[in-house]
Structure 1
């Protein structure tokens, strides 16, 4: 049963890759993440993270790699027109195509056109990254059941490195409201993987849990963090490396765990203050939502 999950994941990824390859070959507009998640039968909450964890690269890099692989196929024709090839694989200009080509392959399209040996070497270079598989003894994951609870939250839009300022606003409000001594937890809900989106577009809910009721004013808001079954793993180190450990959980623990992912966002529980604890000793729990009743 557990190995079947890993095989099923591989088949889902293959289906998405095949769809992307066919779309690029036809010159059609690329599907959005929601459509790719549907093809892969993954929740949109988890698709981009599962993809990165199981393939070793973000979806955008996969698309770029498949575009260049299709371009190399077309460039086997020594008479291929560079601009036509660029447009065929989704680049607006030959200049943008040439930059992407050189960044990935240290060569221009013209240098490889009609040269099968160099094209074969380039195809090999563009192969999918290797991803470790199988058990990870260093991972200590526990499956826990948590009750829902209320928090006071502030949605931050901006770089992950700027979250301290957002939490500072929450603490400032708590001090003014006279409830700062009632803070019993710090929580975070990322709405994207900060490694995969432009910093200015990242949305992240910063939240404080209180032992008392409170009535914040906008843009702060009361919010309920859902309960249920979660995979919990402890991260130690810089908070901007939380997603790296999430990758390991999704790639090395989850496929063989017997648990299905629940359509809800991953959460973080911050256990230390970066201003008071050395970065290497910071602790946080990662909570990956699971469907109940699986084992």
Structure 2
């Protein structure tokens, strides 16, 4: 990978962090998504996905970290007061601030103030977040052109742990259409990231590719178009629960320096095995990331 290209991507993330840090310091409202994406020179469509992959944390986690870091700096001032610190970093009440502080540090603000060495150590820890690491990741990626194809998709909204049941319902629906023997592929489209969205609100399109004529849709199952254009394809072996992290690695370790940028289309996954019949360590899936040649 070209280190200078990766450095460029990390500089983009640094610009976003600087913007968020300024906002936290001033106690203002958080910038809109479009503003953050513009600061990073990234498409709003993929901003959160790229930010998380390269920063090692979500935007929300960055804001929470920066608020706590600001609080520690204020508490290090002997003249600072806990109430003023809480209001300065955006908490409505000292009680809400104290709860968040104790959850983060297992200590109250007053207790932390009395432990000078620990306070400084926590400042240093929060100042240096984990950054997406490419050094230990060996990825085999190929860029392929995929013709558009149709699938029958059922929207699942809820915990990702329930996806097996959602696919079972989709297979039952296909069986009722008398088309079970025409299933030629199992696909999935994550519309939300389970690490960022509350479990009950997380959306995922479960999909089956069919040979022959398309089944007529209904209120529960609808045709969906996948593919079309160029895609970076990465083969994953292991738990399907690790596919989000694998997608992060694809973005952080392969995309910079690849000569490609992301297109405004959702990634999708092609599943090859049934988790109920295949050991977790042997599960196989292909991750598809929409790309196009970089113009720069």
TM-score by length of 2: 0.91
Against the structure 1 CA distance between its residues 188 and 45, is the aligned structure 2 distance closer, same or farther, given a 3 Å change threshold? farther
Distance 2:44 2:180 in 1: 36
Against the structure 1 CA distance between its residues 254 and 231, is the aligned structure 2 distance closer, same or farther, given a 3 Å change threshold? same
2:226 alignment partner in structure 1 = 225
Distance 2:240 2:38 in 1: 31
Equivalent position SS for 2:262: coil
Shift of 1:89: 0.7
1:106 alignment partner in structure 2 = 106
1:95 alignment partner in structure 2 = 95
8 Å CA contact retained: 2:137, 2:249: no
Shift of 1:239: 0.7
Task: Provide Cα deviations, 1:188-239, integer angstroms capped at 9, x if missing partner.
Answer: 1111221222111111111111112210211211111141111111111111
Shift of 1:158: 0.6
Against the structure 1 CA distance between its residues 117 and 289, is the aligned structure 2 distance closer, same or farther, given a 3 Å change threshold? same
Ranges in structure 1 where 5+ consecutive residues have no aligned partner: none
2:72 alignment partner in structure 1 = 72
1:28 alignment partner in structure 2 = 28
8 Å CA contact retained: 1:136, 1:252: no
1:1-295 aligned at under 5 Å gives the runs 2-113=2-113, 117-131=117-131, 133-134=133-134, 138-212=138-212, 213-292=214-293
RMSD: 2.2
Equivalent position SS for 2:247: helix
8 Å CA contact retained: 1:50, 1:247: yes
Equivalent position SS for 1:181: helix
Greater shift, 272-281 or 178-187, is seen at 272-281
Greater shift, 57-66 or 74-83, is seen at 74-83
Shift of 1:115: 6.7
Against the structure 1 CA distance between its residues 267 and 168, is the aligned structure 2 distance closer, same or farther, given a 3 Å change threshold? same
Shift of 1:32: 4.3
Equivalent position SS for 1:129: coil
8 Å CA contact retained: 2:134, 2:249: no
8 Å CA contact retained: 2:187, 2:207: yes
Shift of 1:106: 3.0
TM-score by length of 1: 0.92
Greater shift, 120-129 or 283-292, is seen at 120-129
Distance 2:53 2:259 in 1: 17
Distance 1:193 1:18 in 2: 24
Shift of 1:104: 2.3
Distance 2:227 2:132 in 1: 32
8 Å CA contact retained: 2:259, 2:293: no
Against the structure 1 CA distance between its residues 238 and 209, is the aligned structure 2 distance closer, same or farther, given a 3 Å change threshold? same
8 Å CA contact retained: 1:78, 1:115: no
Count how many residue pairs are aligned between Structure 1 and Structure 2. Answer: 295
Shift of 1:136: 5.3
Distance 1:3 1:138 in 2: 16
Ranges in structure 2 where 5+ consecutive residues have no aligned partner: none
8 Å CA contact retained: 1:174, 1:180: yes
